[in-house]
Amino acid sequence: MGTPSDAPELRRDPIAGRWVVIAPDRGRRPSASPSEAPAPSADGPCPFCPGNERSTPPEVDARRDPGTAPDAPGWRTRVIPNKFAALRPAGASGPEAERSGIYERMEGVGAHEVIIESPEHETELSALPIARIAEVLEVCRDRARAHAADPRVRYVLPFKNYGAWAGASQEHSHTQLLATPVIPNVAQEELAECERRWSGTGSCSFCALIEHERAEGTRLVAEDESFVALAPFASRFAYETWILPLRHASSFESAGGGELRALAAILQRTLAAMRRALDRPCYNFLIHSAPARQTALPWYHWHVEIIPKLSLASGFEWGTGAYINAVPPEEAAERLRAPERAPAERPAS
Amino acid sequence: MGTPSDAPELRRDPIAGRWVVIAPDRGRRPSASPSEAPAPSADGPCPFCPGNERSTPPEVDARRDPGTAPDAPGWRTRVIPNKFAALRPAGASGPEAERSGIYERMEGVGAHEVIIESPEHETELSALPIARIAEVLEVCRDRARAHAADPRVRYVLPFKNYGAWAGASQEHSHTQLLATPVIPNVAQEELAECERRWSGTGSCSFCALIEHERAEGTRLVAEDESFVALAPFASRFAYETWILPLRHASSFESAGGGELRALAAILQRTLAAMRRALDRPCYNFLIHSAPARQTALPWYHWHVEIIPKLSLASGFEWGTGAYINAVPPEEAAERLRAPERAPAERPAS
């Protein structure tokens, strides 16, 4: 019979060349299965609330009030290993790919962390003050730097699932971070395509894209002196929005404090526009960055991708990469640019 | 303001190199939105039931009783253009990619068809007799051949969304088919990876995979003299199952009648095993084939991929290609291989 162990493992598909994490431990987490109501489990006390710190693994980082102890209240943001981790720290040396015929596998070494964004159970990221959002982003960047310093780690991916429809299994607002010993295939594709264009033209595709979009204007959602938020020309999903730094930089790891405060402001503005236009959508956000330690690639440009979860993916998209999007990005951007309703238009309470 | 027209359009993302279909018309189809109950709309009469043929676009093909008229009852399977088509037939010549700076776009030429599998509203594909499933597969193959004869078409993709959680917007059992003027990026990746391996080893990756799996056995779900069903080594999703022909052939277009009858039998067996093991899951299936008219590639091997929809994708997968799967394929295969419960074990009714 051969019961596989519960240790996570990376496996490479020999047909498509992609790496997949097989993580049996994840099977035990609170479920967001289609056969259940799409609301995160509310059974028992919230493990992310202050006072319940002992119900999570010990914290690996926290921004907390002076004099407060680890794994006790007094924190503003708190980083813990994911209890149902897809990848785990292990061993002293890098994992080696083992071959067996056409197959390759690798120990599931890396990290899977949860960044609890706020002690308040009810407050979602975009409702925090800008300085607090910036602090969450700083924690993400610091964790990205810490993992990138580990030579076994080849890619760091901060991401957020907001709402059960976007895959969140806890209601309390949180961001996650994966550090992996392989480069995920979408990142590989972007890196290869951008390097190819750079070899031909000498310019960064993202820098060219930003210039084009700021000149054309129809797909802009928001901009300021440091960042631009836009609906990408070939948006895969309705209301997909990217936020890009105007300054060329390949890696999120190298973002400075001022840049993260500016990112916090435009992220808050963009998420607020989505809430307004789309009636509090569930969403995912991802920070795409160059591979770990590649902080000066001329052809790659870190950015944030936000994907509201407005329809059930047909699965078709998964299997083909042939995305069908019913909302032209020009319409999406126009709707997201619409100003907040003036007070006069609001129904008198 | 610039209201985009409703004509579908293909756009290439300059960062990842992928093509996306922007199809505004699709916005008007019955919704399977997360804000609604996950049951296909039951408003009004079913447009796919006999007697309601006039509520669909005119049929393009049908297997029907002798003497019955098109768009009238008497059919067993019926092919119609999708009313909310992502792509449409148009023009006499192939679409040309138009460039604008870093962007490429193309008229959304192609086809998007619905194959209504049966006149019975309640009967799902796997509950049909094998000869009827084979007929549905033959219709898919015939439509694939018809579209592949159009030089504008570069890829034909038959697929099925079963159940609202898998993206179906009609309850009446149906398969769909897309014919596209570009090669979807997952297909491109598979083709490139397989050609690369073939250049080095002279062998088809799929043929090598089949040999390995039949020898090892732990991931086999079912096999007979023509096909094998297995849980792939690097399964992206829990209980993902592939069905592969033992005979090397790059294209589904070239499958013969005997092969399709054998495929019908193993497909029925596999879907029945999933129903038994997973409590009637929603699922997607896709037929991956070589590009149109490439019927003799030594490095590609057509196959069916079945993906039960058991959890809400976290969106994370979409954005990264970093799939996390909590069910090792060896466990999935073991559970799918489990025989039907013996009558004695069934509760007395």
Map chain A to HEC letters.
Answer: CCCCCCCCEEEECCCCCCEEEECHHHHHCCCCCCCCCCCCCCCCCCCCCCCCHHHCCCCCEEEECCCCCCCCCCEEEEEEECCCCCCECCCCCCCCCEEECCEEEEECECEEEEEECCCCCCCCHHHCCHHHHHHHHHHHHHHHHHHHCCCCCCEEEEEEEECHHHCCCCCCCEEEEEEECCCCHHHHHHHHHHHHHHHHHCCCHHHHHHHHHHHHCCCEEEECCCEEEECCCCCCCCCCEEEEECCCCCCHHHCCHHHHHHHHHHHHHHHHHHHHHHCCCEEEEEEECCCCCCCCCCCCCCEEEEEEECCCCCCHHHHHCCEEECCCHHHHHHHHHCCCCCHHHCCCC
> For the residues A233-252, what does the mean pLDDT come to?
95
A11 Cα to chain B: minimum distance (Å): 5
Would you say residue A218 has pLDDT above 70?
A: yes
Query: Could you tell me whether strands B323-325 and A19-22 are parallel, antiparallel, or unpaired per DSSP bridges?
Result: parallel
What CA–CA distance (Å, rounded) separates A189 from B29? 32
Residues of A in contact with B317 (CB under 8 A): 318
Predicted local confidence at residue A75, as pLDDT: 98
A50 Cα to chain B: minimum distance (Å): 26
Predicted local confidence at residue B167, as pLDDT: 79
Q: How buried is residue B72: exposed, middle or buried, by Cβ count under 10 Å (0-12/13-18/19+)?
A: middle
User: Which residue, chain included where needed, has tokens 């030579």?
Assistant: A151
Residues of A in contact with B283 (CB under 8 A): 315
Predicted local confidence at residue A100, as pLDDT: 87
What CA–CA distance (Å, rounded) separates B124 from B327? 26
Which residue in chain A is spatially nearest to B164 when comparing CA positions?
A312
Pair of tokens at residue A194: 């951008």
What CA–CA distance (Å, rounded) separates A219 from A213? 7
Strand ranges in B289-338 using DSSP code E only, listed in sequence order = 303-309, 323-325
What is the H or E stretch that residue B197 is in? helix B185-201
**Lowest-pLDDT range of A98-107, A259-268, B227-236, B308-317:** B308-317
Measure CB to CB from residue A235 to each of B20, B26, B309 and give the nearest one.
Answer: B20
Predicted local confidence at residue B314, as pLDDT: 53
Size of interface A-B (CB pairs under 8 A): 301
Q: How many CA atoms lie within 13 A of B66 on its CB side?
A: 0
Predicted local confidence at residue A341, as pLDDT: 54
Which residue in chain A is spatially nearest to B325 when comparing CA positions?
A22
Predicted local confidence at residue B29, as pLDDT: 53
Would you say residue A337 has pLDDT above 90?
A: yes
Measure CB to CB from residue B316 to each of A11, A197, A286 and give the nearest one.
Answer: A286
Predicted local confidence at residue B163, as pLDDT: 86
B212: left (phi over 0), alpha (psi -120 to 50) or beta: alpha
What's the alpha-carbon Rg for chain B, to the nearest Å? 21
Would you say residue B34 has pLDDT above 80?
A: no
A69 Cα to chain B: minimum distance (Å): 33
**Angle in degrees, CA A326, A328, A330, rounded to 5:** 160
Mean pLDDT of chain B: 87
Pair of tokens at residue B125: 């594909």
Which of B165, B233, B305, B317 should be substituted to probe chain A, the one whose Cβ sees the most A Cβ atoms within 10 Å? B233
Which residue in chain A is spatially nearest to B169 when comparing CA positions?
A314
Would you say residue B26 has pLDDT above 70?
A: no
Active-site residue flag, B301: no
Would you say residue B41 has pLDDT above 70?
A: no
> For the residues B52-63, what does the mean pLDDT come to?
96
Residue predicted with more confidence, A317 or B347:
A317
Residues of B in contact with A307 (CB under 8 A): 315, 318-319
Would you say residue A38 has pLDDT above 50?
A: no
Contact A322 B102 (CB under 8 A): no
A192 Cα to chain B: minimum distance (Å): 8
Predicted local confidence at residue A92, as pLDDT: 59
Contact B233 A318 (CB under 8 A): no
Predicted local confidence at residue A91, as pLDDT: 64
Predicted local confidence at residue A73, as pLDDT: 97
Would you say residue B345 has pLDDT above 50?
A: no
CB atoms closer than 10 angstroms to residue B35: 14
Predicted local confidence at residue A87, as pLDDT: 80
Contact B193 A236 (CB under 8 A): no
> For the residues B288-298, what does the mean pLDDT come to?
96
Which residue in chain A is spatially nearest to B289 when comparing CA positions?
A320
What CA–CA distance (Å, rounded) separates B306 from B222? 14
Predicted local confidence at residue A131, as pLDDT: 97
DSSP-derived secondary structure for B244-288: EESS--S-GGG--HHHHHHHHHHHHHHHHHHHHHHTS-EEEEEEE
Please list, in sequence order, all residues whose beta carbon lies within 8 angstroms of the beta carbon of residue A54, skipping any fewer than 6 positions away: A71
Q: With an 8 Å Cβ cutoff, is A120 touching chain B? A: no
What CA–CA distance (Å, rounded) separates B248 from B204? 8
Contact between A229 and A304 (Cβ < 8 Å) = no
| Reported confidence tier of residue A150, pLDDT bands at 50, 70, 90 | very high
**ipTM score assigned to the predicted complex:** 0.87
What CA–CA distance (Å, rounded) separates A179 from A138? 17
In B134-153, the residues whose Cβ lies within 8 Å of chain A are none
Would you say residue B23 has pLDDT above 70?
A: yes
Contact between B198 and B205 (Cβ < 8 Å) = yes
Contact B328 A164 (CB under 8 A): no
Contact B330 A2 (CB under 8 A): yes
**Lowest-pLDDT range of A263-277, B70-84, B159-173, B302-316:** B302-316
Would you say residue A314 has pLDDT above 80?
A: no
Residues of A in contact with B3 (CB under 8 A): 331
Contact A165 B312 (CB under 8 A): yes
Measure CB to CB from residue A284 to each of B233, B315, B328 and give the nearest one.
Answer: B315
Predicted local confidence at residue B149, as pLDDT: 94
Q: What is the pLDDT of residues A6-23, one digit of tens each?
A: 788 889 999 988 888 888
What CA–CA distance (Å, rounded) separates B29 from A202? 44
Measure CB to CB from residue A205 to each of B14, B23, B330 and give the nearest one.
Answer: B14
Q: Which of A172, A174, A288, A303 is catalytic?
A: A174
> For the residues A99-128, what does the mean pLDDT come to?
93
Residues of A in contact with B334 (CB under 8 A): 1
Q: What dihedral angle (degrees, nearest 10) is formed by the CA atoms of A126, A129, A132, A137? A: 40
Measure CB to CB from residue A284 to each of B33, B311, B314 and give the nearest one.
Answer: B314
Residues of B in contact with A329 (CB under 8 A): 22
Q: Which of B147, B174, B248, B303 is catalytic?
A: B174
Which residue in chain B is spatially nearest to A335 when comparing CA positions?
B1
What CA–CA distance (Å, rounded) separates A139 from A129? 16
Predicted local confidence at residue A349, as pLDDT: 35
Would you say residue B201 has pLDDT above 50?
A: yes
Q: Is B243 helix (H, G, I), strand (E, B) or coil?
A: strand
| Reported confidence tier of residue A51, pLDDT bands at 50, 70, 90 | very high
Measure CA A325 to chain center. Answer: 21
> For the residues A43-63, what does the mean pLDDT come to?
94
What CA–CA distance (Å, rounded) separates A235 from B13? 8
What CA–CA distance (Å, rounded) separates B322 from B313? 12
| Reported confidence tier of residue B335, pLDDT bands at 50, 70, 90 | very high
> For the residues B29-37, what does the mean pLDDT come to?
44
**Lowest-pLDDT range of A228-242, B225-239, B298-312:** B298-312
In B27-66, the residues whose Cβ lies within 8 Å of chain A are 27, 31-35, 38
Residue predicted with more confidence, B33 or A282:
A282
Q: Is B217 helix (H, G, I), strand (E, B) or coil?
A: coil
Which residue in chain A is spatially nearest to B189 when comparing CA positions?
A16
Please list, in sequence order, all residues whose beta carbon lies within 8 angstroms of the beta carbon of residue A74, skipping any fewer than 6 positions away: A50, A64, A65, A67, A68
Residues of A in contact with B213 (CB under 8 A): none
Residue predicted with more confidence, A184 or A119:
A119
Which of B1, B22, B165, B197 should be substituted to probe chain A, the one whose Cβ sees the most A Cβ atoms within 10 Å? B22
Residues of B in contact with A309 (CB under 8 A): 34, 315
Pair of tokens at residue A12: 């490479």
Would you say residue A259 has pLDDT above 90?
A: yes
> For the residues B173-189, what does the mean pLDDT come to?
91
Predicted local confidence at residue A18, as pLDDT: 86
Would you say residue B202 has pLDDT above 50?
A: yes
Would you say residue A254 has pLDDT above 70?
A: yes
**Lowest-pLDDT range of A87-101, A230-244, B123-137:** A87-101
Q: What is the pLDDT of residues B232-252, one digit of tens each?
A: 999 988 999 999 999 999 999
Phi, psi of B180 (to 5 degrees): -125, 150
Measure CB to CB from residue B315 to each of A2, A21, A166 and give the nearest one.
Answer: A166
